[in-house]
Chain A
Amino acid sequence: MPNPDMRPGDVILRCERLDRTFVSRDAGENRVLQDINFEMRKGEFVVLIGPSGCGKSTLLNIIAGFDRQTAGRALIDGRPIAGPGPDKAMVFQDYALLPWLNARENIEIGLKMQRIPAARRTETALRYLGLVGLAEAAERPVYKLSGGMQQRVSIARALALEPKVLLMDEPFGALDAFQRAIMHRELVRIWRATQATIIFVTHSLEEAVFLGERVVAMTPKAVGLTGELRIDMPRPRDPLSPEFAAVKRRLYEMITAHLPEEVDVFAD
């Protein structure tokens, strides 16, 4: 659905020698991102994985336009990213829905900001609510929805913007294991239905292997991205299958190869 003028496979996002250094009075300089080179094609589902504090959110915030790199370039569709906007829609971990609006209105408000006429707004909002399986809940206030339902509204809101990239920063972190499993399947279905381009941040190996076409690993204080794994496993993927376990193992080895002995980054 997004960007009919683009062909699948075109490069949509490019980061070149990206640096991000935080300077604070007490901690001095903190170089979080160092020489990040990263490219993404239209329709790809990329999972960004790494331990807490390695800079995943920092990278995502730069791509979303909420933050700026200290060196290097970040381009969407060939143009430098110059601030947040509907072409880079983010799904937040805390949903960030407007509590004074109902589910449908939470989606419509984004379309309204795009100055889309009211009738088309409603129609679009309902279509995307249906896509995330919430047609029934359209008129309900969002604070009365369960966490999983709220996150679906948030995903629908982002999709309705028909963004060039959909950014998801640990979107299912606040959900319990059951809801998360349901949302994983839903997300794969939605991705296939919309052919959206997705960057999904997580520190769960399982999540990464279940969702990703390509998993990109980050480790703290490393120069650049530390590894990349293409996952061609057919879908739906079975998390209990030996193939799944094997891919998970390869991913684990790829990440831990860069760490000193006796450090388990997934100890939490």
Chain B
Amino acid sequence: MSMKSATADESLQTSLPKPAAKPAGASAGGTALASLAPALLGLVVPGAFLLVWWGVVAAGVFPPSVLPSPFTVAAAAFDWAFGNPQNGGYSGTLAQAIWASSQRVLLGYGIAMVLGVAIGVPTGASKLMGHLVDPFIHLLRPIPVTAWVPLSLVFFGFGFKGAVFLVALGSFFPIVVNTIEGVRGANRSLVKVGRMLGARGWRLLWYFILPASLPSIFVGLRLGMGISWVLIIVAEMMSVKSGIGYTLLDAYSFGRFDVVIAAMIVLGVMGFLSDRVIVAVQSVVLRWHREVSIHAES
């Protein structure tokens, strides 16, 4: 909570007319440039990176089969995405690969989210549950999820189920741990306030503790999503015969480094987009919780 002790009443400030120091046109141009500048600055380093990459390739430091130029990669990515599948190779298979990987990520992540929150909330809210569940979670958590691969192969076999299991397991831990921490650490004085206002049990949890812990829960959800994309690639490299991770390893074994790099870029974009989706959901959920808190159930 912000604790600033501003002396001025902001409503007064905002109601005052803004001083017009500059002519309107100049100030509008100035703000447009000012808001554009950070975006442009953000492009400087990637642009320099591409330039160096291209320079290194042009100078022939590595054989072009190992390090293709940015243009070759772009062409490979284009062919991967829009090429005619009849051409064979990777042409036109990108959408399929993305769908295959996303499906597994969504299912595994969904399972982790449901279990993580469903176990995390009572574990954080009840001392008894905490004593029961905490040690188990902290015992399992340090085991790298990749170490589960052999067991996963034994129990779930090569394929869809094994990949979903690994994703679910890996993203479960950050979600459950952050949910527990969020609920447990829900601002002490807000919980006090809830009890003072007469809220008990479920109403205390729903109206005070849960909204207060949502930011922490969403930190877990974002971390979990990041890990999901790592694990889906591991799973697809080890045991599944489709998806972006499979394409990546396959392309490597055929020496198609242009496709390898294109696959890396696609993974980066997928990871970024899924994170954006969670952030968007977060703003909606927080908004929704606010509406429910105050308007529903009158």
Contacts and interface: CB of A to CB of B under 8 A. Distances in A.
Interface stretch (B71-79, B149-157, B203-211): B203-211
Given A96-B192, A105-B293, A113-B203, A176 B5 contact: yes
A86 to B, nearest CB: 5
Interface string A110-151: 101110011001000000000000001100100111111100
B18 interface: no
B4 A147 contact: yes
Contacts of A175: 5
A92 interface: yes
Contacts of A179: 5, 7
B147 interface: no
Given A100-B211, A146-B5, A176-B7, A86 B293 contact: no
Interface in A58-73: 64, 66
Contacts of A114: 197-198
Given A66-B195, A118-B295, 9 more contacts: A84-B196, A90-B196, A96-B193, A109-B207, A113-B194, A117-B298, A144-B10, A146-B6, A147-B5
A98 B5 contact: no
A109 B203 contact: no
Contact of A66 (B192, B211, B286, B290): B192
A64 B196 CA distance: 8
A94 B3 contact: yes
B190 interface: yes
Interface residues of A, number: 44
A113 B208 CA distance: 11
A121 B293 CA distance: 13
A11 B8 CA distance: 41
Nearest to B196: A84
Contacts of B289: 100
A90 B234 CA distance: 54
A144 B11 CA distance: 10
B190 A84 contact: no
Interface residues of B, number: 34
A109 B8 contact: no
Given A101-B290, A117-B298, A179-B7, A96 B189 contact: yes
Contacts of A239: none
17 contacts: A64-B196, A83-B195, A85-B195, A90-B192, A94-B1, A94-B3, A96-B193, A100-B289, A108-B294, A110-B197, A113-B194, A140-B11, A144-B10, A146-B6, A147-B3, A148-B5, A149-B9
B87 interface: no
A209 interface: no
Nearest to A89: B196
A85 B290 CA distance: 23
Nearest to B208: A98
B12 to A, nearest CB: 10
B199 interface: yes
A214 B8 CA distance: 33
Contacts of A84: 192, 195-196
A155 to B, nearest CB: 13
Given A96-B189, A101-B294, A109-B294, A85 B9 contact: no
A170 B87 CA distance: 77
A144 B4 CA distance: 10
A109 B197 contact: yes
A66 B197 CA distance: 12
Interface string A159-197: 001000000000000111011000000000000000000
Contacts of A105: 290, 293-294
* For the complex of A and B, 7 pairs with smallest distance between CB atoms: A118-B298, A147-B5, A96-B189, A110-B197, A146-B6, A84-B195, A113-B198
Contacts of A89: 196
